[in-house]
Amino acid sequence: MSTLFEKIIARDIPAEILYEDEVCIAIKDIEPQAPVHFLVIPKKVIARLGEAEKFDQSRLGHLLLTASQVARELGLVDGYRTVINNGIHAGETVPHLHVHVLGGRQMKWPPG
């Protein structure tokens, strides 16, 4: 069965797409937690960071560089936060790896 994000990548479910290439897609989060909140998602399904393998190394790097590129394009000059929720304790809800990028307001530390 396809993951939610595979359905978005296949255009079976609509999403606001900010960027796409052969490796990943960046979409606006449907329930934004900051003025800017987008997700960078690999097209290859990796359930979560903890299940990434050595051969995913360049794919993982690509996700972070894409997060940085899209954040720059969206004008997040004062900073932004990247988050990867891995598993139950982190609050992961979609079992298809994604990097959250949140910006446009002051973030707090420690996170909840």
Number of other CB atoms surrounding residue 63 within 10 Å? 22
What is the side-by-side strand order in the sheet with 99-103?
17-20, 24-28, 36-42, 99-103, 80-83
By the criterion CB under 6 A, which residues form the site for ligand 5GP?
4, 13, 15, 27-31, 85, 91-94
Burial class from Cβ neighbours inside 10 Å (0-12, 13-18, 19+) for residue 80 reads: buried
Nearer to ligand 5GP, 26 or 76 (CB): 26
Known catalytic residue: 62?
no
Query: What is the residue whose two structure tokens read 């900010």?
Result: 18
To the nearest whole angstrom, how small is the minimum distance from the Cβ of residue 7 to ligand 5GP?
8
To the nearest whole angstrom, how small is the minimum distance from the Cβ of residue 112 to ligand 5GP?
13
Q: Which of 37, 96, 98, 100 is catalytic?
A: 98
To the nearest whole angstrom, how small is the minimum distance from the Cβ of residue 41 to ligand 5GP?
9
Instruction: Point out the residues that are catalytic.
Output: 98
